[in-house]
Amino acid sequence: MTNKTAIPRDDANKLGLLQQLNTCLPSYAVVLEISAADLAQIQAGLDGFDYCLKAQEAANNYNNALFAFKRVLRDGPKTAEVNLPTAPSLPAAPSTTLYADIFGFVGDLIARIKHHKNYTEAIGKALNIISANSPDVDPSTLQPILTVDFQAGQPMLHWKGNGADALEIEVDYGSGSFSLLSIQLSPGYLDLKSLPAPGSTALWKYRAIYRIHDQRVGQWSQVLEVSVKG
């Protein structure tokens, strides 16, 4: 069998793998000789990782709101409304005992499953532990494509994860130079910078680059120019 085991690179698909194993693996526990301790460790890994991602997203959104709030206080415009950002509401802490190196455990468990005498390709597909039959992506060729829509007049940026760990976004609000806006772990970013004065417009420019293991990879995206209205 030529199938490879693939632990996804990006956090969203890592979470999806844990969810799939947690839901489906108990049905194959007897035939694959998976212990109750193994199943409990999958559950604990899912609980901890899901909590972490949700809490991190809430904290990132709050940080972005604070950043926009700081800009209004520092730079105006004077007509802007000044509202304190709402503190984040974090999810309930997991009740299971957490542990380090979740996907080290998952990788070893998947390898054990795939070497078991009763393992079949159908089981692999059901557990989602067979990698896609596509060539490996060369990180040096990765280039994000930014698109935009609007929420209450604020630009909402979108892109595809393409297996990267994160996306680094820079912005030029009209100064003529780019500066760091955010590093996002999952696709989607709402820019909460204060809009221009009522009746006026501004041209905001965005560019982005993928990150893997906290390092930039690939090429910068094409500059996305967005016209915003007050």
* pLDDT tens profile 182-204: 999 888 999 999 999 888 999 99
pLDDT of 154: 93
pLDDT of 81: 80
Strand order in the sheet with 189-190: 147-151, 154-158, 189-190
pLDDT of 2: 38
Q: Are 65 and 192 in contact (CB under 8 A)?
A: yes
Distances (CA, A) of 82 to 63, 144, 202: 16, 34, 20
Which has more confidence, 225 or 76?
Answer: 225
pLDDT of 230: 83
Lowest mean pLDDT among 4-13, 115-124, 138-147, 196-205: 4-13
pLDDT of 92: 92
Of 13, 43, 7, 14, nearest to 26 by C-alpha is 43
User: Domain residue spans in the chain?
Assistant: 1-134, 137-229
Q: How far apart are CA 60 and CA 196, in angstroms?
A: 24
Per residue in 140-176, pLDDT (tens digit) is: 899 999 999 998 899 999 999 888 888 999 999 999 9
For CA atoms 188, 189, 190, 196, the dihedral sign is: negative
Quote the CATH superfamily of domain 137-229.
Immunoglobulins (2.60.40.10)
Q: What percent of the chain has pLDDT over 70?
A: 94
pLDDT of 193: 93
Record the tokens describing residue 227, joined without a space: 């016209």
Q: Are 129 and 113 in contact (CB under 8 A)?
A: yes
Backbone φ and ψ for 10, nearest 5 degrees, come out as: -90, 150
In this structure, are strands 189-190 and 179-184 parallel, antiparallel, or unpaired?
unpaired
Q: How far apart are CA 89 and CA 87, in angstroms?
A: 7
pLDDT of 1: 39
Region 53-64: mean pLDDT is 88
Task: Report the mean per-residue pLDDT for the chain.
Answer: 89
Q: How far apart are CA 180 and CA 171, in angstroms?
A: 7
Position 137 confidence tier, pLDDT thresholds 50, 70, 90: low
Whether 8 has a pLDDT exceeding 90, the answer reads no
Per residue in 26-51, pLDDT (tens digit) is: 999 999 999 999 999 999 999 999 99
Position 132 confidence tier, pLDDT thresholds 50, 70, 90: low
pLDDT of 131: 67
Whether 75 has a pLDDT exceeding 90, the answer reads no
